[in-house]
C-alpha cells in the first residue's frame, strides 16, 4: 500500500536553499557549503540538509517534492518512492542505482539512500523527473531550476496567443505572424522533434514579414532516414515541415505536454527551458499505417517584456 505524502503546488517562482555544492557535473572534490537552488524565483528553505556524495548533490526527496509541486508516495516494504507531477512519474528505490522515469529506465550515478529516516536522491534526477531543467554556477554555488507551467496554467496563459499564431500560419499572414516573433531571438525552424541549435535556420522578425516573397533555396537540416540535405525554398519548407496538415483544426492539443512521440529525440524543453510549448497533433491519417503517420506542430513562446513571443516552430513526425 502506497502512503501519500502531502505536497504543495507552486506556480512559476520558487527558490530552494540547500546545503551542498554543485556543478555540471559537480566534482567529487567540491567543498560542502551553502548552495542556492533557484526555481523560477521564489525562496523555499528545505527542512532537511542536503549533502554532496561522490560529486553529486543529494537532496531530501520529500522536501524537493513539496517545492516542485509534486506528489510523493512511499511504499515502505519495497523502500520505493513514486514521484508524480502532471503527466510525469518517476520511481526510485533506496539502495538501487536503477530508477524509472516516465516508464523508461534511468541509471543513477549515486543510488538513492535513507538517512535519519529520510530518502535522499540525486538532485538532478528529481528535477528532470518533473520535466524541469537545471543548470549550475560552480563559482557561486547556485543551481538554477526552471519549472514549466502545468498544462492548465499554460493553457490559460497562452491559448489566445497560440491560436492567433497558428491561424496566421494557416492563412500565410506573415505580417501578423512577424508581430509575434521575438525581437532579438527571431524564430528557429526545426524540421523534426530534435532542435539543432547549431544547424536549424533562424529567421528574424523582418525576414518572417517578407517570407511570402522569399524564393531563396536554403538547407533546413537533413531528411530523416537518408540524411540528405533538406534544400527547399521557404514556401516548399512551409508545405512539408510547417503546415503539412491543418493544424489550426488539429483534434489534439497539448500545453507544455508532449503528445507525439517517436524515435527522434525531443529536446525542446532543454533548449527552451523557460518557454511554453503548444503542440497541435494528428495521431494518423491512413489506418493502414496504424498511427505511424502521425504529425505534430509545436509552437514555442518565451516571455519578452510583458508579452509571450514566438521563438520556435517545430515540426515532428514518426522517424526511422
Return the DSSP state at 73.
E
Query: Hey, CA dihedral for 311, 313, 318, 320, is it positive or negative?
Result: negative
H or E, element range at 39? strand 34-45
- Return the C-alpha cell found at 113: 539512500
pLDDT of 43 reads: 60
Give 96-163 as a DSSP string: -SEEEETTEEEE-SS--EEETTEEEEEHHHHHHHTT-EEEEETTTTEEEEE-PPPHHHHHHHHHHHHH
Q: Which CATH superfamily, name and number, covers 3-146?
A: Copper amine oxidase-like, N-terminal domain (3.30.457.10)
Identify the residue whose cell numbers are 523508461: 104
pLDDT of 253 reads: 97
What's the CATH code, domain 151-317?
3.10.450
pLDDT of 42 reads: 63
CA distances from 289 to 118, 285, 286 (A): 49, 8, 6
pLDDT of 6 reads: 37
Helix (H, G, I), strand (E, B) or coil at 82: strand
Spans of the chain, pLDDT less than 70: 1-36, 41-45
Q: What burial class does residue 197 get, using C-beta atoms within 10 Å of its C-beta: 0-12 exposed, 13-18 middle, 19+ buried?
A: exposed
pLDDT of 159 reads: 97
pLDDT tens digit string along 218-229?
999 999 989 999
In the chain, domain spans: 3-146, 151-317
Closest CA to 135 of 305, 271, 12: 271
Q: CB 117: neighbour CB atoms within 10 A? A: 6
pTM: 0.73
Q: With contact defined as beta carbons under 8 Å apart, do 64 and 174 qualify? A: no
pLDDT of 11 reads: 33
Amino acid at each position: 500500500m502506497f502512503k501519500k505524502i502531502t505536497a504543495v503546488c507552486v506556480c512559476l517562482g520558487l527558490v530552494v536553499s540547500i546545503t551542498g555544492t554543485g556543478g555540471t557535473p559537480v566534482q567529487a572534490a567540491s567543498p560542502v557549503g551553502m548552495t542556492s537552488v533557484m526555481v523560477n524565483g521564489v525562496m523555499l528553505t528545505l527542512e532537511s540538509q542536503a549533502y554532496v556524495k561522490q560529486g553529486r548533490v543529494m537532496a531530501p526527496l520529500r522536501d524537493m517534492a513539496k517545492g516542485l509541486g509534486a506528489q510523493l508516495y512511499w511504499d515502505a516494504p519495497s523502500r520505493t518512492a513514486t514521484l508524480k507531477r502532471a503527466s510525469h512519474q518517476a520511481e526510485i528505490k533506496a539502495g538501487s542505482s536503477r530508477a524509472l522515469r516516465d516508464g523508461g529506465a534511468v541509471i543513477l550515478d549515486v543510488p538513492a539512500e535513507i538517512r535519519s529516516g529520510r530518502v535522499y536522491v540525486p538532485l538532478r534526477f528529481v528535477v528532470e523527473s518533473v520535466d524541469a531543467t537545471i543548470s549550475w554556477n560552480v563559482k557561486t554555488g547556485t543551481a538554477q531550476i526552471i519549472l514549466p507551467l502545468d498544462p492548465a496554467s499554460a493553457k490559460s496563459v497562452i491559448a489566445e496567443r497560440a491560436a492567433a499564431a497558428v491561424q496566421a500560419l494557416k492563412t500565410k499572414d506573415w505580417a501578423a505572424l512577424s508581430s509575434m516573433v521575438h525581437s532579438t531571438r527571431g524564430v528557429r525552424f526545426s524540421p523534426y522533434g530534435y532542435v539543432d541549435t547549431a544547424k536549424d535556420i533562424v529567421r528574424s522578425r523582418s525576414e518572417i514579414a517578407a517570407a511570402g516573397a522569399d524564393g531563396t533555396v536554403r538547407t533546413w537540416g537533413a531528411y530523416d532516414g537518408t540524411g540528405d540535405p533538406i534544400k527547399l525554398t521557404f514556401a516548399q519548407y512551409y508545405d512539408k515541415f510547417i503546415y503539412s496538415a491543418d493544424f489550426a483544426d488539429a483534434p489534439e492539443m497539448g500545453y507544455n505536454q508532449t503528445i507525439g512521440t517517436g524515435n527522434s529525440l525531443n529536446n525542446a524543453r532543454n533548449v527552451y527551458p523557460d518557454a511554453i510549448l503548444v503542440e497541435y497533433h494528428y495521431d494518423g491519417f491512413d489506418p493502414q499505417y496504424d498511427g505511424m503517420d502521425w504529425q505534430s506542430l509545436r509552437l514555442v513562446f518565451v516571455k519578452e517584456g510583458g508579452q509571450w513571443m514566438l521563438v520556435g516552430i517545430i515540426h515532428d513526425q514518426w522517424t526511422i
